[in-house]
Every structure is written in C-alpha cells, then in structure tokens.
Structure 1
Amino acid sequence: MSGSTDPRLPQAFASVPREAFVGPGPWRLSVYQKYFETPDADPACLYQNILLALDADKGINNGEPFLHAIWIAAVSPKAGDTICHIGAGTGYYTAILSVLALPGGSVKAFEVEEALAEKARDNLRPFENVSVTPGDATQLPLPPSDLIYVNAGVAALPPSWLNALRPRGRMIFPWRPSQDVALAIVISRRKAGFSVKPLMNAYFIPCVGASETSECTKIPDWGEARSMRSVWLTSDRAPDETAVAIYKRVWFSSAEIPEDA
C-alpha cells in the first residue's frame, strides 16, 4: 500500500500499538469532518484507515495510517538517522519513526499543545531514543537532521528547517500556500541546493508559527504548485522567472536541481 520495499516499515507499524497512544476507549473517529464514537473500547476499532480524535474541539487528530505509511516510505527513514518530528500529537507516529531509526538513531519530537506534549512524553517513555519538546518548532532550534517529518499545515516554510537538514537530508510537510492548495511535498538537500518533489494532496490543521500567508507575494495555483522542483533561501538566491511561490525568506521554483555527482 505504501509503495515501500523496506520490510521494516510494515514491521514498525505492527510493533507499535495504536491504542497505547490515544487513551482509553470508546474513541471518537472522524469521518467526513464529523466525529462518531466507537460502539465500545475494542482496539479493533482503531485498526482501520481513519482519523482518530486527540482534541476534537481543536480539530486535532491522530492521522490516517495509510497516509503516514506513504509519507514515511517517501522519505525512507534509515537506521542511525537523526529525525525531527514536528507536530507529534501524542506520539504514535513518533514511535514508528523511532523504531525505523534503530539501531543508532534518535527522534526529537516537538508538540506545541502542552497537554498533548505531556501525553506524548508519557506514551514514549518505553522508546529510549526519543525526546519530546513542548513548544513552537518554528522558533525553537532544531538539531542537524537527516529527516524532518512535519504533521501540520505549513504556509510559509521556516528557513531554520531548511538549514537544519544535513547533506542528503529529507523533509516532508503538508504545504498550504492558500485555501485552494494543500499538497504534501518532499524536500531533499543536495550539493547544489534543495530539490522539491510534490507527493499527494494533504489537508492538515495549520502549523502554529508557519501558517501566515501575508509574507507571500506570489501565490501558486494547483498547476504551479505541482510544477515545483526546488526551493531557495532568498538570502542565497533572489527569485527569478522560474518562481512558483515567493515569500520573504524562501521561494519555490520550477527549475530542477541536478542530482549529486
């Protein structure tokens, strides 16, 4: 289903029980933006491709497993990777990422909602290669990272996230430059710059600190968004005729980045 050939991916999902991260049942499931309570507390209710409420009043959910399997496959976490998980919720997908980082890797999770961050810290205690930081990851320093995995809708990409990527590092996030465009994209750091690959439609709640569109002087439509192939810091290179979206500190281009030699 994910398209991955890595046998560790289904093993990681199988090894991490979803019910350990979402509190006692019955649970509230989101279907077509409406919540429905499960008939009982049977964990079998959780093992379907469905959103699960973490904070229904704020629209915060534990995301669809199929979507996350596709995303994780797209960025290929490896043993020994340093991973940042931004928007960790209560830690379910953090735990899966931490399994894939073993042996030798680690996950630093960020969660801006303090109550969820506390639950994530408790839920993730058995995972010794994980730390949880409550707070705004657009303002806090990120460690040098092989992978940055973002689970909140980003309008204006923080330059600090790009700068945190190590050579050949990857980042995936749901890009929301306007109400009309919602697209998951994968960024890879290469010798010549940052390449961009559009992945799939993706709708997430806004990312605190990165959801402001007022800094955007060029907003893409769907066709332009899908044409993106690179992203640049404006401090490194001024926007040119290939610009698809322009912000104060970053801009997206339709120009390809050459593969590393």
Structure 2
Amino acid sequence: MNDTPTLGDLRNQLVDEIVAKRPLPAPIEHALRTVRRDLHLPGLDPAAAYTNRAVTIKDNPDGPLALSCASVPSTVAMMLAQLDPQPGDRILEIGAGTGYNAALLAELVGPDGQITTIDIEPGVALHARRALNRTGFEHVRVMERDGLKGAPEHAPYTRMIAAVGLWDIPATWWQQLADGGRLVLPLRWRGQTRSVALTRHGDALVSDDMELCGFVPVIGQYGEHTVELAHGTVRLHHDQDQLVDPDQLAEVFSTPLTELWSQARVGNEETFDGIWLRATASDDMVCRIEVTKQALEDGVRRPTIPGRTPALVSGDSLAFLIAERDNADLERPSRLGAVGYGPEAITLARNLIAHVDDWSTDRGAVPHMTVHPAETPDSGLPKGHVIDKAHSRMVLFLTRANA
C-alpha cells in the first residue's frame, strides 16, 4: 500500500493549514483546493509548491529583492478575502507573477467574468501566459505593460488587485475603477506595508480592512528614500515628505543612548506591529530603521526586529522600539521600550513610549483610511491625519476596537 500523499492531498493540507488560522469564504477555499499551484511553478519540486512560502521566479540583478515571485499562499488567500470577488466581476490584476492568482480569480468570477492581468517584465508576462494556458485558463487576458498605467482599454473594472507593493495609488487607476468598485493593494507609508481594502465612493477610496504584508515593490515609484548612517551599517527609510537630514544625523550613534520602558508586555507569538500602524495615524516622525549585524557588533542597541523596526526621527535625534525578555510574566515574557540617541533622545523615546502605551490599551484598534486625489483641497478632506503623496492624499483616523 502506498501511503505517499498525492499533490491533491498536499494542496488540501496546505488549505487546511490556512483556514485553521483564518477562516475563508467558501468560494475562495474551494478555488484554493481546485487550482493547481504546482503547474504555475515549473522546475520546482511539485510538493514544494504546497508549502506556505513565497517562491522567486525572477531575480533582480540590481538589488536584493526579487523582480517577481509567487506570493505566500496564506497572503494570497487573505487578499482574495479582502477583494471578495463575485461571479461576473471584471477584475484587473497588477503584477501577473506566475499567473496563479489570475487563475484563482478566474475560477471565482466564473464564465461571465473577465480577468486582465498585467506585468512590466516580458519574461514574467510570458511565464504567466504559458501557465494559464497549461492550467485551462486560456481566456484570462495577459498583457505586458507598465502596471502603473493599468489597462484602460478594458475598463471599467468592478475590482482591482495589486500583487506588487505600492507607495502611492496612480491617478490612472482611479479612472479605471468603477464607482462602488473595490481595490486591494499592498500600500506602503512610513516604512511599513499593509494590504489595504478600499471601496470607491465617488472621489474617495474608503478602507474597511488592513492587514500586515510584504511585497516586491512596483517598478517606477520612488516615494521612499534611504539615509545611511554609522558608515552604512544603519539605514533609515523615510517618505519623501519627511524632513530627514543625513548631515544632522551623521554622528547620532556617537551620542549616549537613553532607554525608557513601558508597562506593555507581549507574548512569544504576539504581534505588536499595531504600534507602528497606530503611530502613523498621528505622528509625522515615524519611519523605519534597519540595523545590520555589523552595527550591532559596533554597539548600536538592538531594535525589536533589526531589519524593520519603527523609529521616530527629528532633526539630529532618533528613537526606536526595543524589547527585553525578563520572564516576570510567563504569558507575556517580553516588555517593550524605546531607545533614543541625540540631543532630543529623551523626548523622542517618551513619544515612542506614548505610542506603545496607546496601542497597549486597545491592541485591536486600527486606523480608518480614506484616499483622495492629490488636488483635493483641505476643505474637501474628512477629519484625520493627512499624509500627502504624489497622486493622492491619505487621511488616517483612529477607530477603536472596543468603542
């Protein structure tokens, strides 16, 4: 008797793993159990296609991030749930990848729907086309073009989804999304990325869900900048509207550090990314700090996560989030704090602790977001904290889970 699991068994096991952590609408679960991811990843061990991990399909010769990859299946499922595709929908996907997500979308919209998927990379678009043909989705439209331009010749779309990270929402997308239509995209601001679900109401996009995620950035948007400190061993990533002067910060890590501690504690598996998200709803000093192994060896205080930790920057000073395990509370063995450098170290560390304390009193609260065209005057915006980008104005307003 052969007890080796079939690919169908492995696919179902993966979906079982996903739905155990996040229940899914029945049509999406069915699509995940039906569409074969392994056929979109030729050359990979078929069994490896049914592990919950991303797979690079095109390397980037100019940097560490891939040009294209197959997203983590649980992230694919989460974003499909945010998008909520319905039979008959006309959907535009930006970032064709392997074609797997387009196949799932085609399965969900049925024979009366239409799927258009676009990618700027010729090789990626060809990969998607061949995979979709191989899996029986020849009717999905694959186009090689700049995703920031969309595909106006097949608009309007009832739904749009981006499988690449965006710093801003292009003005062209507004023109192609039907009023009442839904847009799901990995949107980046203040150094962190969230999969945001937005519905168009006239000249406003209104959010109803935000989930932590990470995606390869779209080619052609350059709204985030990087400042290198401590001989390049520390990097600050900030938005173009933030005043971060590398000359002022050049010697910041040669100053004495200041540590402050909050009363907030976290468990081993508990996420605290909500601190970062919540802080962006009120504070324009929030950015991301990246501390390399060399910087840690040189004495820079270890952030909570060396590769991506929220920081506050003002003039010649900065502060960032830290954690320390002391086991005083077995359920939540780690306490959270802030470390500051520079003349304003104490002030910035206190400000960051205030963000931690605010989050700790209501850990499930997330900001409400509306997005408006860049030309919208202040008088046309709702109340909230405004972040200006090239093509849009984001407004964040904090709502509380226990309100």
TM-score w.r.t. length of structure 1: 0.81
Matches of 1:24 and 1:67 in 2, distance apart? 23
> Which amino acid in structure 1 is aligned with residue 217 of structure 2?
P
Match status 1:20 vs 2:25: no
Matches of 2:130 and 2:89 in 1, distance apart? 23
Q: Which has the larger radius of gyration?
A: 2
CA contact (8 A) 1:156 1:211 kept: no
For 1:194, the equivalent position in structure 2 comes to 205
* Partner secondary structure for residue 138 of structure 1: helix
* Partner secondary structure for residue 97 of structure 2: coil
Match status 1:47 vs 2:50: yes
For 1:4, the equivalent position in structure 2 comes to 24
Match status 1:253 vs 2:395: yes
Matches of 1:216 and 1:129 in 2, distance apart? 41
Which structure has greater helix proportion? 2
Deviation beyond 6 Å, 4+ runs, structure 1: none
* Partner secondary structure for residue 217 of structure 2: coil
> Which amino acid in structure 2 is aligned with residue 109 of structure 1?
T
For 1:244, the equivalent position in structure 2 comes to 386
* Partner secondary structure for residue 189 of structure 1: strand
* Partner secondary structure for residue 252 of structure 1: strand
Match status 1:147 vs 2:147: no
> Which amino acid in structure 2 is aligned with residue 75 of structure 1?
L
Aligned-pair identity (%): 22
For 2:171, the equivalent position in structure 1 comes to 159
1:75-94 aligned within 5 A: 75-94=83-102
In structure 2, the CA distance between the partners of 1:207 and 1:192, relative to structure 1 (3 Å rule), is closer
* Partner secondary structure for residue 149 of structure 2: coil
Measured after TM superposition, the shift of residue 235 of structure 1 is: 2.8
Matches of 1:208 and 1:248 in 2, distance apart? 15
CA contact (8 A) 2:183 2:198 kept: yes
Measured after TM superposition, the shift of residue 192 of structure 1 is: 6.9
Matches of 2:49 and 2:151 in 1, distance apart? 34
Between stretches 208-217 and 136-145, larger displacement belongs to 208-217
For 1:227, the equivalent position in structure 2 comes to 367
Identify unmatched segments of 5+ residues in structure 2: 1-18, 226-238, 244-275, 282-365, 399-403
> Which amino acid in structure 1 is aligned with residue 140 of structure 2?
V
Matches of 2:218 and 2:131 in 1, distance apart? 23
Give the counterpart of 2:82 among 67, 70, 74: 74
Measured after TM superposition, the shift of residue 46 of structure 1 is: 1.6
Between stretches 70-79 and 187-196, larger displacement belongs to 187-196
Task: Tell me: higher relative CO, structure 1 or 2? Use CA pairs within 8 A at least 6 residues apart.
Answer: 1
Measured after TM superposition, the shift of residue 105 of structure 1 is: 0.4
Give the counterpart of 1:185 among 174, 183, 196: 196
> Which amino acid in structure 2 is aligned with residue 182 of structure 1?
T
Post-superposition CA distance 1:15-73 (Å, at most 9, x none): 21111111123xxxxxxxxxxxxxxx3x2222121111212445232111111111101
Between stretches 139-148 and 90-99, larger displacement belongs to 139-148
For 1:217, the equivalent position in structure 2 comes to 241
For 2:273, the equivalent position in structure 1 comes to none
Post-superposition CA distance 1:58-95 (Å, at most 9, x none): 52321111111111011110000000111111201111
Matches of 1:87 and 1:187 in 2, distance apart? 18
Matches of 2:109 and 2:242 in 1, distance apart? 38
Measured after TM superposition, the shift of residue 135 of structure 1 is: 1.5
CA contact (8 A) 1:149 1:172 kept: yes
* Partner secondary structure for residue 119 of structure 1: helix
* Partner secondary structure for residue 169 of structure 1: strand
TM-score w.r.t. length of structure 2: 0.54
CA contact (8 A) 1:89 1:120 kept: yes
Matches of 1:102 and 1:48 in 2, distance apart? 27
In structure 2, the CA distance between the partners of 1:3 and 1:251, relative to structure 1 (3 Å rule), is farther
Matches of 1:88 and 1:16 in 2, distance apart? 16
CA contact (8 A) 2:89 2:114 kept: yes
Post-superposition CA distance 1:175-194 (Å, at most 9, x none): 1224x311111110125732
Match status 1:168 vs 2:180: yes
Identify unmatched segments of 5+ residues in structure 1: 26-40, 257-261
> Which amino acid in structure 1 is aligned with residue 23 of structure 2?
G
